[in-house]
Amino acid sequence: MASITISTIQSSIFWEDKAANLQMFQEKLKSLPNETEIAILPEMFTTGFSMDAERLAETMDGPTVQWMRDLSRSLQMIITGSIIVKSHDRYYNRLIWMMPNGNLGYYDKRHLFAFSGEDQYYTAGNKRLIASVKGWKINVQICYDLRFPVWARQSFSTDEQSPEYDILIYVANWPERRIPAWKALLSARAIENQAYVFGVNRVGTDGHDVPYSGDSLIVDPLGEWLYHQTGTEDNFTITLERDFLDGARKKFPFLKDGDGFQLLT
């Protein structure tokens, strides 16, 4: 089976300044290795974690989605990260999965962070997005979703003898003061789902003086940390080998012993 090369971008974000953020992330994306097949940006990468949805939202035909389409095509890599989107008079914290051929998928954040009032301004999503790249199945989620393991829980097909996905990605604006939970939960999601987990967080301080330490992580299916960076901006590129994932699942066939369930939304 093919390997896959993924790059993460841990960055500060200019508060509610789309033009500055697009320029900055364009430079960072262009600096990634040519072999990168997927590039991961943080949550709300054009604005920071803002509740000013009415002023900052764009449509799916707006400039940021077009920016992603143009860059994905020119760089020949999938680009993903979340932005503020308005659709049918509702606002969403929406992750865009942009492919080099111009097609896209999207995922609307399921669990809205009521502690900061996100649920008052945004509408929750009700379906997951699992993309497929070179035979790898990739589940994408956003920040607070990490605290709810059922939403990420693998279903195991006894007929196909295969799990639902191979890689789980969280894009985030996760504050520094709650980083111990971030690191513990990312590790738990990897172990319990026997999947690679990517947590891509921001650094810096937002418009409410909330500090972010990054602490972006890549965790393998056995819970080992393959990458961890705290406190500074950093781009990181890793190539995952399919043989290791399949070997871990074969050696420790825990998923087939899990409880059957039906996910209700």
Angle 6-220-147 from CA coordinates, rounded to 5°: 95
Q: Which of 58, 143, 176, 224 is catalytic?
A: 143
Is 109 marked active-site? yes
* Other beta carbons less than 10 A from residue 170's beta carbon: 28
Is 127 marked active-site? no
Is 43 marked active-site? yes
Nearest of 47, 51, 81 to residue 65 by alpha carbon: 81
Nearest of 172, 213, 214 to residue 189 by alpha carbon: 172
Classify residue 143 as left (phi > 0), alpha (psi -120 to 50) or beta: left
Q: Count Cβ neighbours within 10 Å for each residue of 4-22 and write b for 16 or more, e otherwise.
A: bbbbbbbbbbbbbebeebb
Q: Which of 18, 37, 43, 118 is catalytic?
A: 43
Q: Is 207 exposed, middle or buried (0-12, 13-18, 19+ CB in 10 A)?
A: middle
* Other beta carbons less than 10 A from residue 205's beta carbon: 15
Q: Which of 109, 118, 137, 251 is catalytic?
A: 109
Cα(11)–Cα(220) distance, rounded to whole angstroms? 23
- What radius of gyration, in Å, describes the C-alpha atoms of the chain? 17
Residue that has been written with the tokens 């606002």 in this structure: 91
The catalytic residue positions are: 43, 109, 143
